[in-house]
Structure formats: structure tokens, C-alpha cells
Chains A and B, each alone.
Chain A
């Protein structure tokens, strides 16, 4: 298989997953650029792409997004993504009102905690896979995920106790 063939196979197999990962964390418009950058990096490092390609690509995508974060662009985009009030980030139509509390609670978490939970819940990775995306040991990730879950529960409780946050009509914009 030539490099071109392998690259095209890599793209065909995982572009959707990378695009979904990016769309879950930034605006749809920026997600396209993130995906393109991820695959250009993959092209440059094609010889180094391991067998678990998807995990490797998600790790690259995470770093690409992290680089963007310096300009606060991504934080704003993620806030928009997590903000149920905004049309661009509206939860699925069949979601219940209580799910919007989940978004608020997520938005209250530190980024490390949030990413740990999202890798499990949105990317549906195992602890081992999520650890590899983050570049940490599986045991370390398990500890982080455990603490993140605990903080998430506290954040949910805080949302319940915060006037207005349980109501769609008065969701705060600055949640991150």
C-alpha cells in the first residue's frame, strides 16, 4: 500500500470520528479546519501512526484544539457548544429539560475533568483509550475520571441550587 493509499484509507476510516470529536468541542466551522489540520499532521507523520489510528488521531485533535485555546477562541466556542440556550449548541430535540442541567454542570467543571468525562461519555472510549488520548497512564486517568465524576455530581447539585440555572429562560452566558 502506498502512502497515498494509506492516507486515504486513514481518512476514510476516521475522518468522521475526528470531525465529531472536534464538533463536540468547538464550532462546526472551526471543526472542519481542525480536522484538516489533524490529517495534514497525520500525512506528515504517516510512518508514525500506530495501529490504533483513531486514538492517535483524537490525541492529535486534542492537541490541535489545545493550541487554539491560547487565544480563548476555543473556550468561547466550547461555551457556545455547552450553552443550551444557543441555537448552535442546542441539545437533541428529544432531550429532557434536566439534561440541560447536565450541560451547565459540565460547563462548571475544570477542563481536565470535563475532558475526562467527555472522552468516556461522548467519545465512548474505555479508560485505557481515553488515557492514551490524554497521554497519561490508565491508572492516572481512572483516578482523574473518578474525581471528575464526583465534581460533576457536586456541580449538578450546585446547578440545582442556583436560582435560574434550572430554568431554560435564564441560563447564564458566562458559564466557563
Chain B
């Protein structure tokens, strides 16, 4: 590096010297108060008392972020009222600098006239979900009979899923593979030739690509007569719009048997109520069984 360049940069350094560290008290107080009072009205007044008073708007932005961090600290330290906290479990495995910022909700339906109540909610550290982001999903199958929550640590590479189908038991599985519901994964699969473009069209008023998985040339999947899934994505953002799965239908024909509609993507604040949705609350104190 040219010393002259460095000298020039140093001369225009707007903060030539490190400022003294601000008192740690407000930060510690904020941390402790949130640990003990979060979710209660008393916590609000306590936060107000220690919040940086310069700008109320900034504080309003700051408090939810702090709340998320502190809630995660709380969960990681064994809190959570006996509920199994998926968010905390996922966050144990991710790199620093992340925080749950967005909640994306989706809704699914089944093809062939049979509608199944399947609600998917997704939390992600980025929107649209991207490579190196963290994604948490909650799926309720039927009238709360079973709950599946998945935490994708790195989309397309590794994820963990927690499945609560039996009272008192939560099954945990770590898996690797491709999940075609992450933007980065879809892009990567397309670049790698694992998806081909069927056509570009319009759906619900927006331009979309219809993509289809390219079966491998060798292996059992290559000999399968199964029609590969068709994935419809937004032409500009690659956000998934629809995922069409084929299976045996009447007269032995392969027909769409399950269509996953990604209906709404809504950004929600990381409030305790929203974060609580990724807790397996059906079985407080449930035993976690490792599968695979």
C-alpha cells in the first residue's frame, strides 16, 4: 500500500482518535432489565428510563433489536419456561452478527381440490432469504396435531428440523441437501444447471419464470418416471411464488398433487409474541430425541 495514500486518508479521518468508552451502565442495565422484565409493562418503563434520550425514534428502532438479542441470550441461558426454543437452538450454531429481523409468512394449499390446512411461517435474517442467512420455519399440519419447525443454518447446505408429533417428544434431525425455497439456493441451482427455464410468463400481475428441476443423469433418480417439480419464481427477485409437485393421479397419469403457494411475505417486528411462534410450546419440557 502506498504510504502517501494512507497519509492522505489519515488526514481526513473524521475521528482521528478513539473516543472514550461511554459508561457501560446503560448497556448493562438494559441487558439485565430485559432479562428479567421483558414482555411486562414494567420493562417498558425501565427501558424508557435508561434509553438513550436523544431521539425517541431511534430508541424505538433500537429497543426491538436489543429485545431480540436479549431474548436470545435469555433462551440460551436456559430460560424459556420449559419450552423448547428452536430459535435459540439454531442460533447456537450461527456466526455472530446475525439477528432475527424479519418474519415471512406463507400459506400452503393442496392441489386437486383437497385443501390442507398447512400454515408456514418463516423467520429470516434477511429478506429475501439469501446465502448465509438464517431461516426458521414453523409448519402446523392439520389442527395443531403436529408441528414441524426447521432452522436452516446455511440455506442449501445444512439445516436442522424439530418435529413434534408425539406428546412429550421432540425429534431433532440434522440434514443436508437442497431446499428449493431459498432464493440463494434457487439461484445457485439455476447457475449449476440443476434448474432449467420452461418459460417466462405472468402470474398474479407479475413476471415470473417457470423453472423445472433437471434430473441427474445417473443414479436412481435418473431412472425415475417422476415428473420433476416445477418451481415458479419472481422474475426479478427469484422469490418463490409456487412449487408444484407431481404424483400419481387418476388413470395412472402423473398430475400435480401438491402445490405450494407462497402467498404473502410480510415483515413483522421481532416482538416476543412473534418470536414465541418458533417455540415448540405444545409439550413443555419435552424430551428431545436426536434422529440422524
Contacts and interface: CB of A to CB of B under 8 A. Distances in A.
Interface in B19-33: 19-22, 24, 27-28, 30-31
A59 B97 contact: yes
A37 B101 CA distance: 13
A16 B23 CA distance: 11
A122 B13 contact: yes
Nearest to A11: B24
Contacts of B290: none
B12 interface: yes
Interface stretch (B68-76, B104-112, B160-168, B239-247): B68-76
Given A121-B5, A122-B9, A122-B13, A15 B69 contact: no
A99 B97 CA distance: 34
Nearest to A22: B15
B65 interface: yes
Contacts of A63: 96-98
Given A40-B66, A43-B31, A121-B10, A60 B96 contact: yes
A145 B5 CA distance: 11
B223 interface: no
Given A102-B8, A102-B11, A149-B1, A41 B97 contact: yes
A43 B73 contact: yes
Given A11-B21, A29-B58, A120 B11 contact: no
A70 B69 CA distance: 20
Contacts of B13: 24, 92, 121-122
B24 A23 contact: no
Given A41-B97, A60-B97, A91 B14 contact: yes
Interface residues of A, number: 55
B19 A95 contact: no
A91 B13 CA distance: 7
Interface residues of B, number: 44
A24 B18 CA distance: 10
Nearest to A27: B58
A15 B24 contact: yes
Chain A CB within 10 Å, residue with most, of B11, B12, B20, B76? B12
A80 B192 CA distance: 41
Interface in B44-59: 52, 54-55, 58
Interface in A14-32: 15-17, 19-20, 23-24, 29-30, 32
A99 B22 contact: no
A12 interface: yes
Contacts of A127: 1
A118 B9 contact: yes
A102 B54 CA distance: 32
A89 B52 contact: no
Contacts of A64: 97
A21 to B, nearest CB: 8
A128 interface: no
A102 B8 CA distance: 7
A36 interface: yes
Nearest to B26: A36
A32 B22 contact: yes
Contacts of A51: none
B41 interface: no
A94 to B, nearest CB: 9
Contacts of A12: 21, 24
Given A16-B19, A40-B31, A41-B97, A102 B9 contact: yes
Interface of B: 1-2, 5-6, 8-22, 24, 27-28, 30-31, 52, 54-55, 58, 61-62, 65-66, 69-70, 72-73, 76, 91, 96-99, 101, 126
17 contacts: A11-B27, A16-B20, A20-B17, A29-B54, A36-B30, A37-B62, A40-B31, A41-B96, A41-B99, A48-B96, A60-B96, A67-B99, A89-B14, A117-B9, A120-B9, A121-B13, A152-B5
